[in-house]
Amino acid sequence: MKSLAELAAIREKMKDKVVLREGSGEIRVVVGMATCGIAAGARPVLNAFVEEVGKAGLADKVTVSQTGCIGVCQYEPVVEIFEADKEKVTYIKMTPEKAAEVVEKHLKGGKAIQEYTISNAIS
């Protein structure tokens, strides 16, 4: 059974970390979670990002957050990636599988997957 003692252990482990708040990351992953996004499947996409970023140990560097309607409902689920000094990358029609790939190749590897981006769809 999950116990509250495990939470206390997490707190203990985090004590030494200077940065407690996950939100100071250099990279921001923003998932559109308005009615349009949710209906199109944004919830499992968000979960996949949280899970994969956590598993890859990128939580200090990458913040996963949620936003409202980005304005391109026909392309939902939409995910935007913001990184200092770089142009925003907008991924469209995302799935949990694509999310895992983006974490691996883009967030870890530093290379956007053009095939999944909005610029690929409209060009």
Partner 1 sequence: MKELSLNILDIAKNSVKAKAENILIELTETDETLTLTIRDDGCGMSEETVQNVMNPFYTTRTTRNVGMGIPLLKLAAEQTGGNIRITSVCEKDSPENHGTTVTAVFFKNHLDFTPLGDVISTVTVLIQGSPDIDWQFVHRLNGDSVELNTKELREILGDVPLDNYEVIKWIEDFLKEAYESVS
Residues lying near partner 1 in the complex (CB under 8 A)? 1-2, 4, 6-8, 10-11, 13-14, 20-23, 33-35, 38-39, 43-44, 46-47, 50, 53-54, 59, 64-66, 68
Q: Which is nearer to partner 1, 43 or 105 (CB)?
A: 43
User: Shortest Cβ distance from residue 15 to partner 1 (Å)?
Assistant: 9
Cβ neighbors of 120 (< 8 A, separation 6 or more) are: 114
User: Shortest Cβ distance from residue 122 to partner 1 (Å)?
Assistant: 25
Q: Which is nearer to partner 1, 23 or 110 (CB)?
A: 23
Burial state string for 52-88 with b = 16 or more CB within 10 A and e = fewer than 16:
bbeeeebeeebbbbeeeebeeeebbbbbbbbbeeeee
Angle in degrees, CA 73, 76, 80, rounded to 5 = 105
Q: Which is nearer to partner 1, 9 or 114 (CB)?
A: 9
